Structure 1
Amino acid sequence: MGRRRKSDSPLHGVILIDKPSGKTSRDVVSAVGRLTGQRRAGHTGTLDPMATGLLPVVLGEGTKAAALLSDAHKVYAATLQLGVATDSGDAEGQEVERGVVPELNQGLVEQACSTLLGRQMQTPPVYSAKKVDGKRAYDLARQGIEVALTPVEIEVASLECRWIAPGRIELTAEVSKGTYIRSLGETLAKRLETVGHLTALRRLRTGPFDVADAITLDQLEALGVEARAAAVLPVARLLALLPSCTLDGAQTARFTQGIKIAGVVGGGVTGQVAVFGPDRLLGIAWAQEGAVQPKRLFLLNS
Structure 2
Amino acid sequence: MTRRTFRDIHGILLLDKPLGLSSNQALQTARRLVGAAKGGHTGSLDPLATGLLPLCFGEATKLAGWLLGSRKAYEAEVRLGMTTTTADLEGEVVETRPVPVLDDATIEAALAPLRGLIVQIPPAYSAIKQDGVPLYVRARRGEVVDVPAREVDVYRLEVIGREGDTVRLLVECGSGTYVRSLAVDFGAHLGCGAHLTGLRRLWVEPFMAPPMVTLDELRDAAEIGPDQLEAFVMPVDAGLTHIPRVELDPEQTRIFGFGQPVPLGQGAEPGRCAVWGVDGRLMALGEIADDGLLRVLRGLNLPTA
What SS does the aligned partner of 1:209 have? coil
- The separation in 2 between residues aligned to 1:15 and 1:46, in whole angstroms, is 15
User: Which residue number corresponds to residue 123 of structure 1?
Assistant: 121
Counterpart position of 2:107:
109
Measured against aligned partners, the alpha-carbon deviations of 1:4-45 in whole angstroms (never above 9, x if no partner) come to: 4x33x4111110100011000010111122112223211101
State the AA in 1 paired with 2:258: Q
TM-score normalised by length of structure 2: 0.93
2:239 matches 1:238: yes
Aligned CA distance change for structure 1 residues 265 and 169 (closer, same or farther; 3 Å): farther
Instruction: Report the counterpart of residue 201 of structure 1 in structure 2.
Output: 199
Q: Measure, in 1, the Cα distance between the counterparts of 2:98 and 2:55.
A: 42
SS of the aligned residue for 2:192 comes to coil
Unaligned runs of 5+ in 1: none
What is the one-letter code of the residue matched to 2:271? G
Match of 1:159 among 150, 157, 160: 157
Provide the rounded CA distance (Å) in 1 between the counterparts of 2:235 and 2:161.
41
Aligned ranges for residues 89-238 of structure 1 at < 5 Å? 89-162=87-160, 164-210=162-208, 212-223=210-221, 224-238=225-239
1:107 offset after TM fit, Å? Answer: 2.6
Maintained 8 Å contact 2:264/2:292: yes
Superposition RMSD in Å: 1.7
Distance, in Å, in 1 between the alignment partners of 2:161 and 2:25 is: 34
Offset at 1:2? 8.7
- The aligned residue for residue 283 of structure 2 is 282
Contact 1:285 1:292 in 2 (8 A): yes
- The match for 2:41 is 43
**Retained in 2: the 8 A contact 1:54–1:211?**
no
- For 1:213-271, what per-residue CA distance to the aligned partner results, in whole angstroms no more than 9, with x for missing partners? 1111111121121111121111101111111210122211111101211126833x222
Mark the CA change 1:220 to 1:163 in structure 2 (over 3 Å): closer, same or farther.
Answer: closer
SS at match of 1:45: coil
After TM superposition, what 4+ stretches of structure 1 lie above 3 angstroms from structure 2? 1-4, 264-267
SS of corresponding position for 1:100: coil
| Matched letter for residue 69 of structure 1 | L
Report the counterpart of residue 294 of structure 2 in structure 1. Answer: 292
Could you tell me which amino acid in structure 1 is paired with residue 138 of structure 2? L
Partner of 1:60: 58
Q: Distance in 2 between matches of 1:87 and 1:66?
A: 31
- The CA deviation at 1:70 is 0.6
Q: Secondary structure at the match of 2:59?
A: helix
In structure 1, distance between residues paired with 2:124 and 2:209: 28
Inter-partner Cα distance in structure 2 for 1:2 and 1:15: 24
> Does the 8 A contact of 2:122 with 2:147 survive in 1?
yes
Q: Is 1:273 aligned with 2:273?
A: yes
Normalised to the residue count of structure 1, the TM-score between the two structures is 0.94
Q: Aligned letter for 1:143? A: R
**In the superposition, relative to structure 1, how do residues 48 and 249 fare at CA in structure 2: closer, same or farther (>3 Å)?**
same
How far off its partner does 1:132 sit? Answer: 2.1
Q: Please, which moves more after superposition, 280-289 or 54-63?
A: 280-289
What SS is found at the alignment partner of 1:233? coil
Q: Determine what percentage of the aligned residue pairs are the same residue.
A: 38
Give me the whole-angstrom Cα distance separating, in 2, the residues matched to 1:265 and 1:222: 52
Distance 2:264 2:17 in 1: 44
Q: Which amino acid aligns with 2:176?
A: G
- The aligned length equals 299
Q: Give the superposition deviation at 1:117.
A: 0.8
- SS, match of residue 157 in structure 1: strand
How far apart are the structure 2 equivalents of 1:277 and 1:59? 22
2:8, 2:37 within 8 Å by CA — same for their partners in 1?
Answer: no
Q: Look up the match of 1:262.
A: 263
Unaligned runs of 5+ in 2: none
Give the letter for the 1:293 counterpart. Answer: R
Deviations 1:40-89 (A, max 9, x none): 21110110110000000111110111122210011000111000111111
Aligned to 1:27: 25
| Distance (whole Å) between structure 2 residues aligned to residue 87 and residue 219 of structure 1 | 36
